[in-house]
Amino acid sequence: DAGVTQSPTHLIKTRGQHVTLRCSPISGHKSVSWYQQVLGQGPQFIFQYYEKEERGRGNFPDRFSARQFPNYSSELNVNALLLGDSALYLCASSLYPRDTEAFFGQGTRLTVV
Amino acid sequence: AQKITQTQPGMFVQEKEAVTLDCTYDTSDPSYGLFWYKQPSSGEMIFLIYQGSYDQQNATEGRYSLNFQKARKSANLVISASQLGDSAMYFCAMREIASGAGSYQLTFGKGTKLSVIP
């Protein structure tokens, strides 16, 4: 069975641009969460989606948005990129929001120049 | 105050020896979950083990065990018989209620870098 897949794996953007990151959860998983991991830190929670609805939002500016599609895949969008948005963006999937297992993808490494 | 504290930025262990990675947490929620993840240099977060706050026994998964001491709010990871492939960052995380109804988030510590010496 395929695990959580994220695309692209790496990308470089210029300040002020927009970026879209994609995540496909494990088959059958309905909950998807997004995390930002800055170099040298643990991941920080951005969003959680369950059954195509936003269920939780972390302390991130409105430039960050996301959505979940009927097939439970998800997109994370970031507008007006700042240098500080450079990070590893991780997607996690689980059956339910409150589950005993949460599996992560390999992440998308975003560099803003 | 930090909700997850990992006090060991780096640890060294001899191959085939056991090692304990420390984690303390802070929450007022009686129902919570504790996770350990391994992150190799490739970046992927690999799920290792889970402990629920109401679980009576310490969780075990192969060479991984979680030493759960609820009163002390600690959830240390024990890796037995270390292997070279265990060299990686290790993160302790706690699941807690997020901002929305029915939403939960993982709060991570800063991690411990484990290096296994041949």
The set of residues, in sequence order, having a beta carbon less than 8 Å from that of A37 and lying 6+ positions away, is: A43, A44, A87, A88, A89, A90, A107
Please tell me if residue A105 touches chain B, with a CB cutoff of 8 Å.
yes
Q: Which of B45, B47, B105 sits opposite A58 (nearest CB)?
A: B105
Instruction: Render pLDDT for A10-41 as a digit per residue (tens, 0 to 9).
Output: 999 999 999 999 999 999 899 999 999 999 99
Please tell me if residue A39 touches chain B, with a CB cutoff of 8 Å.
no
**Residue B34 contacts residue B67 (beta carbons within 8 Å):** no
B46 DSSP β-pair partners: B38
Q: B44: which DSSP letter?
A: P
Query: Which residues from A are below 8 Å from B109, CB to CB?
Result: 42
**Within 10 A of A27 (CB to CB), how many other CB atoms are there?**
11
**CA–CA gap between residue A14 and residue A17 (Å, rounded):** 6
Beta strand segments in chain A, E: 5-7, 10-13, 19-24, 31-37, 44-50, 53-57, 64-68, 74-78, 87-94, 103-104, 108-112
The set of residues, in sequence order, having a beta carbon less than 8 Å from that of B12 and lying 6+ positions away, is: B114, B115, B116, B117
Instruction: Render pLDDT for A56-68 as a digit per residue (tens, 0 to 9).
Output: 899 999 999 999 9
Instruction: Render pLDDT for B105-114 as a digit per residue (tens, 0 to 9).
Output: 889 999 999 9
**Residue B6 has which token pair?**
């990992």
**pLDDT (average), residues B30-38:** 91
Residues on B contacting A at a C-beta cutoff of 8 Å = 4, 33, 35, 37, 42-47, 50, 52, 91, 93, 95, 98-111
**pLDDT (average), residues A72-90:** 97
Phi and psi at residue A27, to the nearest 5°: -55, 125
